[in-house]
Structure 1
Amino acid sequence: MTPFFIADRNRKYTNFTAKIITILISIITIIGLITYRIRETNETTKPQPEVVNPAMVAVTALGRIEPEGEVIQVFPPASTESARIQQLWVKQGDWVKAGQALAMLDNYPRRLAAVKTAQEDVKVAQAQLMQVQAGAKQGDLQAQQAEIARLVAELQNAQVEESRYRSLYTEGAISASQYDRQRLQMQAAQRQVNQARASLNSLAEVRPVDVHLYQAQIRQARAKVVQAQAELDLSVVRSPRSGQILKVHTFPGEMVGSQGILNLGNTTQMVVVAEIYETDIHKVRFGQIATITSPSLSQPLSGTISQLGLEISKPNVSDINSSTNIDTRVMEVRIRLNPESSRIVAAMTNLNVDVSIGLEQ
């Protein structure tokens, strides 16, 4: 009996221990779940740290190099008819001053002849005025005076005859008609003398109206000289400002085309025209430092922003390696290169470059 009792007691003890272990495991599991839920709730309510994007330190853009004041295309005056170059007095690389003659058009000889003709017309008008102011020729005056003397002699003879006929008529020796005929002859002689004397006075007189007429003709002739000279000046193409000849497009014997005669620029000071995306415009300020690079340059260039554009437009400088939307809009910003950088690119007008404009942190 005793062994059975001991075995039964051991079996009961084992069952009790298993139940205790099961209960403990359940309690531990419940406590773990509760702890996990509490921790999850706390993490959910905890404020998340803000993600800080790295600040932009520079604005990048494409650009091109050109002389300060832009490149000027020199054309003949707009009023000039189809122009052909007759002489070209400059070549690529030459330095010229403002107003210096660059080329002569083929209409120059014809316009020069027009100037000389107008100048001769002035001389003719001046000579005519001098002639009027001098009055009639001395020979003409003497001839008229001789004519007057002859007519006066005839008048005197007619007066003598008229006096004799009047006496005869008074005595009844002749008829009234005979006397009247002689009297009319005397009166006709008197009129001829009067007309001759009036002609002499006219020859000797310098009329103000004649002087004014020829003075007006002189003024008109001089105005034509001024006009002809102005047209002649248009046949010589002059430099609009000082600078260097960058490229010659038209040579002697050629018609001036759409590119003009030549390109002119002040390469003593070079600038970079950067095309800033419209989304970056608000970040760019006057005086900011810019760095310019290009595979064609042995070293980076440096400059400062000297001018901000006033218009948004399509870009002129394209990046062949870029897939940028064709609707991109930009604003042109001018960067004045420092003296050393300007000297390096003095012969690199229109070179495409990459621009990086530093921003304040």
Structure 2
Amino acid sequence: MNYERKVDSMDSLAGSTQSYYEQADGRRKRTWMIVAVVLIALALAATWYAFNSSKGAADGAAATAAAGGAAVPSITVVIPGRQSVQAAISTNGTIAARREMPVGIAGEGGQVVRVLVEPGQWVGAGQPLAVIDRSVQTQQAASLSASIRVAQADADLAQAELTRADALVSRGFISKADMDRKRATRDAANARVRVAQAQYAEAQARNGRLNIVAPAAGLVLTRQVEPGQIVGAGSGVLFRMARGGEMELMAQMAEADLQRVRVGTRATITPVGSNLNIAGQVWQVSPIINPDTRQGMVRIAVPYSAALRPGGFADARLVSGTEEAPLLPESAVQSGPEGNFVLIVDGKDTIQRRAVKVGTVTDGGVSIASGLAGNEKVVVLAGAFLNVGDKVKPVVQKSSQ
């Protein structure tokens, strides 16, 4: 009996525990369901609020724009007028010797014994540049010198015999015919002396031409000979010189620019890779135009400078006088695929685009060669942020004079 009651009480306790856990699980599920419903409701409320706010702002902006409340930007403009500016032409070209002197063999040539100069060295007129072996020619000259003395001795003997014979003519010991022969012998001997002297002078002149000498004072540019080399009349140019060291810039210019250049036009030369400004002057303008390139040659004389090397490249700026043209700040001129342009404000205060051709660039600004009359309202700044047709409020700025 007691055992059966104990088992029943244990079964009753187990059933109560299981019921307790089932009730706890049910409460947890209900709690999570309530939390999920609340979160969904909050999300829907936030979405509705955001939608209504953006719609209200858009409606407000549209209403403001419709009411004409949009601000018109103030833009600084300048009326450039026309000012006197220097007409400058920019070009470039190749440096060359103004008067290049090729030096070669003037005589019969031979083997070079010594070379006396190097490129970059200054030489005087007639100064030897290279010495050619003259051992054979020297002996020939000595032989001719001796022949002069022989001929002179014969001439002296003939003159002495003629003098003695002349003293005997009056006494009748020598006929006039003999006197004529002695006179002829004397004259022939004197002629042989002159021939020997001429031959010796010729040999001396040939020997003097063996050396390679500078035809005029100047700067040695190149050297194409070495000691031991055999040279002759067909050896070509052995040295190149610039007479007086004078240089020039040979620049190709467009046909239109060529019309503005005259002999004597001032120029400033800047060699590539340097900041030097070397003063020059146009000394020759080509009388013809290349029909293929439509360009002509302008030659600008430049004094010697160590920065100028024949064959090098240089920029040039030619000042061809003054001209009347609109002058704008550099910030007013813009460039695009079609070329340079400016933005102007028309009579209705709207932005318009005007193509221009840039002239001289100076410290005061950029001159406009064509495209502007000078009475336009040109946008000075903020051109990159404006579009054609934009409405603006122009604020006129005084043009710099």
Report the TM range for the smaller structure's normalisation.
Answer: 0.5 to 0.7
Q: 1:299 to 1:101 in 2, by over 3 A?
A: closer
2:155 matched to 1:129? yes
2:185 is aligned to: 210
1:221 is aligned to: 196
2:231 matched to 1:291? no
Look up the SS of the partner of 1:135 in the other structure: helix
1:70 is aligned to: 99
Q: 1:250 to 1:82 in 2, by over 3 A?
A: same
For 1:192-219, what per-residue CA distance to the aligned partner results, in whole angstroms no more than 9, with x for missing partners?
Answer: xxxxx989x9999981111111111111
Look up the SS of the partner of 1:231 in the other structure: helix
2:259 is aligned to: 282
- Greater share of residues in helix: 1
AA paired with 2:315?
D
Asked if 2 retains the 8 angstrom alpha-carbon contact of 1:312 and 1:331, the reply is yes
C-alpha separation between the residues in 2 aligned to 1:222 and 1:258? 32
AA paired with 1:227?
E
1:318 is aligned to: none
* Structure 2 unaligned blocks of 5 or more: 1-84, 163-171, 324-401
Deviation at 1:117, TM superposition (A): 1.5
Asked if 1 retains the 8 angstrom alpha-carbon contact of 2:217 and 2:244, the reply is no
AA paired with 2:135?
P
2:143 matched to 1:117? yes
2:316 matched to 1:355? yes
Pick aligned residue for 2:305 from 327, 337, 343: 343
| Cα-Cα RMSD | 3.6
1:43 is aligned to: none
Asked if 1 retains the 8 angstrom alpha-carbon contact of 2:109 and 2:230, the reply is yes
Deviation at 1:329, TM superposition (A): 5.5
For 1:295-346, what per-residue CA distance to the aligned partner results, in whole angstroms no more than 9, with x for missing partners?
Answer: 42234443222333445569xxxxxxxxxxxx32643322233x6xx53525
2:299 matched to 1:334? yes
C-alpha separation between the residues in 2 aligned to 1:202 and 1:57? 93
Look up the SS of the partner of 2:264 in the other structure: coil
C-alpha separation between the residues in 2 aligned to 1:88 and 1:313? 43
1:97 is aligned to: 124
TM-score, structure 2 normalization? 0.48
Q: 1:263 to 1:275 in 2, by over 3 A?
A: same
Give the number of the structure whose alpha-carbon radius of gyration is greater.
1
Deviation at 1:75, TM superposition (A): 0.9
* Structure 1 unaligned blocks of 5 or more: 1-54, 137-196, 315-326
Q: 1:285 to 1:228 in 2, by over 3 A?
A: same
Asked if 1 retains the 8 angstrom alpha-carbon contact of 2:88 and 2:318, the reply is yes
2:223 is aligned to: 248
Q: 1:282 to 1:261 in 2, by over 3 A?
A: same
C-alpha separation between the residues in 1 aligned to 2:136 and 2:294? 51
Q: What does residue range 259-274 of structure 1 map to in structure 2 within 5 Å?
A: 260-266=237-243, 269-274=246-251
C-alpha separation between the residues in 1 aligned to 2:143 and 2:193? 14
Look up the SS of the partner of 1:357 in the other structure: strand
Look up the SS of the partner of 2:137 in the other structure: helix
Q: 1:221 to 1:312 in 2, by over 3 A?
A: farther
Asked if 1 retains the 8 angstrom alpha-carbon contact of 2:141 and 2:200, the reply is yes
Q: What does residue range 124-163 of structure 1 map to in structure 2 within 5 Å?
A: 124-135=150-161
C-alpha separation between the residues in 2 aligned to 1:206 and 1:212? 10
Deviation at 1:241, TM superposition (A): 0.8
Look up the SS of the partner of 2:305 in the other structure: helix
C-alpha separation between the residues in 2 aligned to 1:267 and 1:213? 51
1:61 is aligned to: 91
TM-score, structure 1 normalization? 0.53
AA paired with 2:147?
D
Deviation at 1:259, TM superposition (A): 5.8
Q: 1:344 to 1:211 in 2, by over 3 A?
A: closer
AA paired with 1:115?
A
AA paired with 1:102?
L
C-alpha separation between the residues in 2 aligned to 1:109 and 1:329? 58
Aligned positions, number: 228
C-alpha separation between the residues in 2 aligned to 1:329 and 1:232? 52
C-alpha separation between the residues in 1 aligned to 2:183 and 2:315? 79
Q: 1:311 to 1:129 in 2, by over 3 A?
A: farther
Q: 1:282 to 1:212 in 2, by over 3 A?
A: same
